[in-house]
Structure 1
Amino acid sequence: VMSDYHLRCELRGHDEDVRGVLACDIGIATSSRDKTAKIWSEESASSYSPTTTLVGHTDYVGPIVYVPPGLVEALPAGVLVTGSRDSSLKVWDTASGRCIASCGGHAYQVTSAALLPDGGVVSASLDKTLKVWRLADGTCVDTLEGHEGPVLSVAVSPDGDIVSGSGDTTVRVWRGGKCAATLRGHTDTVRALAVLPGLGFVSGSHDLTLRVWDMQGNTIAELLGHTAIIFAVATLPGQNLIASG
């Protein structure tokens, strides 16, 4: 019921528009066109303040990934990973704001990133590739090639399958470093992806539709109703609920 929701507080501190928002165990993380990311902590029921500003990217920052403590042995306290139009990803100590590692290898903007079950991160780029990174030292351990257009979205299933969406209108499923399936159905850029645990995943497109797929690449449903490009999609764990915008 809409009346149950109200504005609790506003977070102000970035100098330009905000490109990403992530709620996680350490608070709220945001990224911006001002080339920084910020970590915000709750001060009161109606106030958050920026406790750490992450400075180091040379162009605007978009994707944010949180790696929780204990997932990577070499990074026991956990880290935040950011991707940028400067073509790099950076790994940050969340307490000090220090850059632990810089992941360089993409030729163009990093558009999306997602956490892998083993604590690595996979990134998508306008250079038509995805890359898998070891965060402790910023090493690229695999490059996934096959898309014929910029890769704009990436998601990871609970068992580690990588799903990517591209300007070539396809969705690809990657397993063991190889393309296991190329899914066709959208007629324009695939902009957004989200996993539906136990079922498959959902894709959102510039063609104004969403598609629900199983992990074998079969279309379960096509969702109609939007009258403009779909930029974002999210799912609620434990429920077959999809939100799109």
Structure 2
Amino acid sequence: MAGRLSGKTALVTAAGQGIGRACAEALAREGASVIATDINDRTLAEIGAIAGITPRKLDVLDAEAVKAAAREVGAVDVLLNCAGFVHHGTILDCDEDAFDFSVNLNVRAMYRMIRAFLPAMLENGGGSVINMASVSGNLKGIPNRFIYGTTKAAVIGLTKSIAADFIRQGIRCNAICPGTVQSPSLDDRINAFDDPVQARKDFIARQPLGRLGTAEEIAAMAVYLAGDESAYTTGQAMIVDGGITI
């Protein structure tokens, strides 16, 4: 069924590559007018060439830039928060700087985006907020994902709180919890290992389905949560994980 999001405006953060880009493209294919934000000029230029997508440079770590974007863009029907960072290591590998950066990008940036865009969404009658979380920290302890899992657990709390606070005002807020998904950022993490070939095998081995997920499979969930088909769904952590939490 095409055109599931016709007439809707969506804003996607970290839309330059990986899951964010797949989500932006999927929303546009279903008829949404997509504002694709990122900090990378090259990837923004690439995604801006796709029909239905308007690129916009935005650093979600810049509070004033986020406020300015909200003022200029106005009401959106869908706010999809994809920006995030995966830190590798245990608590002993996570110093204060690493802790602060992960919290700022994975949690505070979502708080900042929602707080900036929510008032116009409320004035416009409601909308769908979608936060990219993870199975790590929320549903399963993943080795060497201390601060990543910690921040993604916080995303679930943030999601459920917003859903509860604004359920009577037309706002739905849900989270997507992917397993391990093939993406440029995953490639970077794998290539940082001494033995990237074995590292990739290890990532695949922890997926009971026997393969990595694709960004398009996560985007399909985003399309569902963005559209009217999910009108009765709010405050949920939607798992798309290849069976890792079974």
TM-score bucket of the superposed structures, by smaller chain: under 0.3
Which fold has the larger relative contact order, with Cα–Cα distance below 8 Å and residues 6 or more apart in sequence? Answer: 2
| Larger strand proportion of the pair | 1
| Larger helix proportion of the pair | 2
TM norm structure 1: 0.28
